[in-house]
């Protein structure tokens, strides 16, 4: 079972990884905000342990972005001791549980196991739009029943279009979700990605509303 640990404190990270590994978990470690965001959105994790104070992009923003992008991996948030505001903000952003620092690894393990039990009881959903079907847990997309080979960014883009099916998304809006920035370079990259996706699927799979943006129609099958 693979976990993501996002923690920039080297001592806490080392100690926690050793403890989790001893329990049989495989652990990917991220110490930077942007790296955490990317791994959490594209990786296949049973759960994520997320420190809120990360360099580059704070944990709450990362969590909000994941949830907005349809990432439903259970998240255990590590907060500063006594900071009840952080806990409230964390739950509102989509955290499943929290643990105040400093924590004992036994408590981390107990909470983690409870989180994994709860998520195992939740059925995995697929979503469909147009001729696309997406399986968020497996990170797979089919088009007309055929499995697509997608890069992580292409997956993110398709996932966004399917989640927002029926709505026209501007290239800049797509760029900010898919690439985390919304400048002209990112916008051009989005346009190139749309062209690649059309080649991989069908020229009509993603509609262009000239002057506005892109859209996958809100019809299944």
Chain contacts with Ca ion (rule: CB under 5 A): 8, 51, 53
**What is the chain's length?**
221
Q: Which residues neighbour 206 within 8 Å (Cβ) at sequence distance 6 or greater? A: 161, 194, 197, 198, 214, 215, 216
For residue 138, the minimal CB distance to Ca ion (Å) is 31
For Ca ion, the closer of residues 53 and 180 by Cβ is 53
In angstroms, what is the C-alpha Rg of the chain?
19
- Which residues does residue 51 pair with via DSSP β-bridges, in sequence order? 78
Q: How far apart are CA 97 and CA 142, in angstroms?
A: 33
SS3 99: strand
Q: Which is nearer to Ca ion, 59 or 130 (CB)?
A: 59
Beta bridge partner(s), residue 135 = 126, 140
Backbone angles phi, psi at 76, to 5 degrees: -105, 120
Q: Compute the least distance from the CB of residue 94 to Ca ion, in Å.
A: 19
Q: Cβ 8 to Ca ion, closest distance in Å?
A: 5
Q: Least distance in Å: CB of 96 to Ca ion?
A: 19
**Minimum separation from the CB atom of position 217 to Ca ion (A):** 43
With respect to Ca ion, which residue has the nearer C-beta, 8 or 191?
A: 8
Could you give phi then psi for residue 16, rounded to 5 degrees? -65, -40
Which C-beta is closer to Ca ion: that of 11 or that of 149? 11
Closest residue to Ca ion using C-beta atoms: 53
Containing H/E element for 215?
strand 213-215
For Ca ion, the closer CB: 51 or 89: 51
């Amino acid at each position: 079972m693979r976990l993501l640990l996002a923690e920039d404190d080297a001592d806490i990270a080392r100690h926690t990884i050793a403890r989790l590994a001893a329990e049989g978990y495989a652990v990917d470690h991220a110490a930077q905000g942007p790296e955490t965001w990317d791994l959490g959105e594209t990786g296949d994790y049973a759960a994520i342990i997320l420190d809120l104070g990360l360099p580059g992009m704070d944990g709450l923003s990362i969590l909000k972005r994941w949830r907005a992008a349809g990432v439903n991996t259970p998240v255990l948030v590590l907060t500063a001791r006594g900071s009840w505001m952080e806990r409230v903000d964390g739950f509102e952003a989509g955290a499943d549980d929290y643990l105040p620092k400093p924590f004992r690894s036994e408590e981390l393990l107990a909470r983690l196991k409870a989180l994994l039990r709860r998520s195992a009881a939740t059925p995995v959903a697929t979503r469909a739009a147009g001729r696309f079907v997406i399986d968020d847990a497996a990170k797979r997309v089919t088009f007309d029943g055929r499995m697509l080979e997608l890069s992580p960014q292409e997956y993110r883009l398709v996932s966004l279009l399917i989640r927002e099916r029926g709505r026209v998304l501007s290239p800049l809006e797509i760029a900010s979700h898919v690439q985390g920035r919304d400048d002209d370079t990112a916008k051009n990259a989005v346009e190139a990605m749309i062209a690649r996706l059309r080649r991989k699927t069908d020229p009509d799979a993603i509609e262009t509303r000239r002057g506005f943006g892109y859209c996958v129609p809100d019809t299944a099958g």
